[in-house]
A and B are shown apart, each in its own frame.
Chain A
């Protein structure tokens, strides 16, 4: 690898020859990645996680391309199939710290079946899903999380479909950890990620993100600062919200916090014969 300079404190975690990223100005993904890397840095400094063991897996989409930029083992695989790839890698080598990154369409749309079963099995991987309410990379088509009525490129007369609340779905399965954060509060992303790096089982963090170029264009918030501030206004933080409070609604508010925190035996524990 090219000897790239370490200027920014997070540069050691980045393939700096690929920075600047392909992301649009104001894209929440960069903020999210920075927060994740800070959480990871802390665990590496503590000696809990060895950098060699870290594996990032992404499907297809802007969020999944975070795998381009991390200076670790990474895999950029098929749309919606990051989770089964991660499951195979983790079961073949349980020492790996496996982190799946992807968008709401990739993980909860086409990848929905895999998400459901990985959560059901309580597979020992971390999944970070960046929700921007649209399929951004392909130009702005409707996504399973797009609010009702929004005009997207494939719903030009207004989205007729009620959106999916992924946090509610995953919480109804056996996951050990379900949380929602927002790129307007990167310290919570860092805090939650730091926490899950020390846990077992299926850990899921939804990160609500800004997409000024595509989703912002659909809802009239093209300016990065304006979209950031509008999202910030709607984010309501509750440390341990209940599932009834798990609203993710541009009108009613977006409730962030930790929904499920438990320490049930993960799938690896069951495979090893313990975990009753």
Chain B
């Protein structure tokens, strides 16, 4: 364990390496490029490979290939790059390939403002590719959390054989804070389940936890990675029975682990009448506001989901007891829609505050004043 001074991008890179990252393929895109640059320097020293591919489409496909060859793999990108990776994400879902994608959000739509921040992509990482699936995503709010949640992301991807997103943003990427870098022995690292034997190995035959053991290429398992709807052997199965079975299992294997997946933090919630909900870098400002209001005598509470998908509706309903809920986001209101749905019996207000540099305390206060 060592204490360093690092940026959000570096924290994600270090978290990945602690988790066992061995292959990185990426494409430069602001504000994620320096994550790749840091890994290009460090990862080869630790026995890994970094390659800058010709575009994001090549990057996402390369990391899926590498993961199936047995290496923990990741890439980092931003909005325009992730848009190109859409098809690849779907491939990772159906082939049940563990990969981690760091999405360092920047103001959009389209080219937008490359060096400035947003929170508008939290639904993009949920629904990017076509089809029915649940892809977990985590949103850290500090450099330390970027490190810790990256390890969680890798563990999730390996445990559940799924792609996983880390949602950072242009502010968090380049803010520098103290970071405690934990070594692999000091923190739980989960690896994909290996198969029990070569005889009768079927690449998509699940165990009781609905996750199939994963064999790498090159060890004599006769792996079949298949993008078409398939049966347990990986053979194309265009029939209702196998289609329903596969698509259902891909979703249920994730949702079964909701308790383990859903991480959150709450402050002053026991007697709160008004609860602020926020995530990522904006949450820091909202937390400061909550404390300010408390000091001023207002019974304000603060709830911050660290896991943005899947959301644990039961936990949210039980933890957020306030009558009034105000969701503050650096977008035109996205998580607010979930909160309105989940807390349909409360008064949920959206407080969208668009700010390229992240909303200021003053702006957030002005946005929420009308409901306090």
In the bound complex, do residue B54 and residue A78 qualify as a contact, i.e. CB atoms below 8 Å apart? no
Cα A52 to Cα B5 in complex, Å, equals 45
Count A-B contacts at CB 8 Å.
129
Q: A18 is contacted by which of B71, B223, B235 (Cβ under 8 Å)?
A: B235
From known contacts A55-B218, A88-B73, A95-B218, infer whether A78 and B61 are also in contact, taking CB-CB under 8 Å.
yes
Q: A88 is contacted by which of B23, B223, B233 (Cβ under 8 Å)?
A: B23
**Interface size grouping (class) on chain A:** 35 or more
From known contacts A85-B65, A88-B63, A88-B65, infer whether A77 and B219 are also in contact, taking CB-CB under 8 Å.
no
* In the assembled complex, A249 has its CB within 8 A of some CB on chain B: no
Q: In A63-95, which residues have CB < 8 Å from any B CB?
A: 67-68, 71-78, 81, 84-93, 95
Q: A92 is contacted by which of B54, B73, B223 (Cβ under 8 Å)?
A: B73
Q: A114 is contacted by which of B54, B68, B87 (Cβ under 8 Å)?
A: B54
Q: Mark A42-65, 1 if CB is under 8 A from B, else 0.
A: 000000000111010100100000
* In the assembled complex, B91 has its CB within 8 A of some CB on chain A: yes
Q: In B38-78, which residues have CB < 8 Å from any A CB?
A: 49, 51, 53-55, 57-59, 61-71, 73
From known contacts A84-B62, A85-B62, A88-B66, infer whether A71 and B227 are also in contact, taking CB-CB under 8 Å.
no
From known contacts A88-B73, A89-B66, A117-B54, infer whether A78 and B87 are also in contact, taking CB-CB under 8 Å.
yes
Q: Interface centre among B59, B87, B223, B225, by most A CB within 10 Å?
A: B225
Contacts of A96 in B (CB 8 A): 69, 217-218
In the bound complex, do residue B91 and residue A77 qualify as a contact, i.e. CB atoms below 8 Å apart? yes
Contacts of B61 in A (CB 8 A): 77-78, 81, 84-85, 88
* In the assembled complex, B105 has its CB within 8 A of some CB on chain A: no
Q: B70 is contacted by which of A52, A75, A93 (Cβ under 8 Å)?
A: A93
* In the assembled complex, A271 has its CB within 8 A of some CB on chain B: yes
Q: Mark B213-254, 1 if CB is under 8 A from A, else 0.
A: 000111111111111100001011000000000000000000
In the bound complex, do residue B225 and residue A74 qualify as a contact, i.e. CB atoms below 8 Å apart? yes
Contacts of B222 in A (CB 8 A): 1, 71-73
* In the assembled complex, B22 has its CB within 8 A of some CB on chain A: yes
What's the minimum C-beta distance from B161 to chain A, rounded to whole angstroms? Answer: 15
From known contacts A18-B235, A87-B62, infer whether A93 and B25 are also in contact, taking CB-CB under 8 Å.
no
Cα A117 to Cα B212 in complex, Å, equals 34
Q: Which residue on B lies nearest to A52, using beta carbons?
A: B220
* In the assembled complex, A154 has its CB within 8 A of some CB on chain B: no
Q: Interface centre among A1, A18, A81, by most B CB within 10 Å?
A: A81
Cα A91 to Cα B53 in complex, Å, equals 12
In the bound complex, do residue A114 and residue B65 qualify as a contact, i.e. CB atoms below 8 Å apart? no
What's the minimum C-beta distance from B194 to chain A, rounded to whole angstroms? Answer: 15
Cα A178 to Cα B118 in complex, Å, equals 48
From known contacts A81-B57, A117-B54, infer whether A87 and B228 are also in contact, taking CB-CB under 8 Å.
no
What's the minimum C-beta distance from A5 to chain B, rounded to whole angstroms? Answer: 17
Contacts of A72 in B (CB 8 A): 222
Contacts of B53 in A (CB 8 A): 84, 87, 117
What's the minimum C-beta distance from B219 to chain A, rounded to whole angstroms? Answer: 6
Cα A55 to Cα B217 in complex, Å, equals 7
In the bound complex, do residue B54 and residue A88 qualify as a contact, i.e. CB atoms below 8 Å apart? no
Cα A52 to Cα B219 in complex, Å, equals 6
Contacts of A89 in B (CB 8 A): 65-66, 68-69, 217
What's the minimum C-beta distance from A271 to chain B, rounded to whole angstroms? Answer: 7
In the bound complex, do residue B57 and residue A84 qualify as a contact, i.e. CB atoms below 8 Å apart? yes
* In the assembled complex, A155 has its CB within 8 A of some CB on chain B: no
Q: Which residue on B lies nearest to A79, using beta carbons?
A: B87
* In the assembled complex, A229 has its CB within 8 A of some CB on chain B: no
* In the assembled complex, B28 has its CB within 8 A of some CB on chain A: no
Cα A93 to Cα B216 in complex, Å, equals 10
In the bound complex, do residue B23 and residue A91 qualify as a contact, i.e. CB atoms below 8 Å apart? yes
* In the assembled complex, B296 has its CB within 8 A of some CB on chain A: no
Q: Which residue on B lies nearest to A71, using beta carbons?
A: B222
What's the minimum C-beta distance from A83 to chain B, rounded to whole angstroms? Answer: 8
Cα A73 to Cα B225 in complex, Å, equals 8
In the bound complex, do residue B228 and residue A57 qualify as a contact, i.e. CB atoms below 8 Å apart? no
Contacts of A76 in B (CB 8 A): 224-228
* In the assembled complex, B200 has its CB within 8 A of some CB on chain A: yes
Q: Which residue on B lies nearest to A91, using beta carbons?
A: B49
Cα A57 to Cα B61 in complex, Å, equals 12
Cα A85 to Cα B68 in complex, Å, equals 9
Q: Mark B140-172, 1 if CB is under 8 A from A, else 0.
A: 000000000000000000000000000000000
Binding site for B on A (CB under 8 A): 1, 18, 51-53, 55, 57, 60, 67-68, 71-78, 81, 84-93, 95-96, 113-114, 116-117, 271
A76-B225, A78-B88, A88-B64 known, 12 other contacts, Cβ within 8 Å: A68-B236, A77-B64, A77-B225, A78-B91, A84-B58, A84-B61, A89-B65, A89-B69, A90-B65, A91-B62, A92-B66, A114-B54
Binding site for A on B (CB under 8 A): 22-23, 25, 49, 51, 53-55, 57-59, 61-71, 73, 87-88, 91, 95, 200, 216-228, 233, 235-236
What would be 19 A-B contacts, judged by CB atoms less than 8 Å apart?
A1-B200, A55-B218, A60-B227, A73-B223, A77-B61, A78-B227, A81-B58, A81-B87, A84-B57, A88-B23, A88-B65, A89-B217, A90-B69, A91-B51, A92-B22, A92-B69, A93-B69, A93-B70, A93-B217
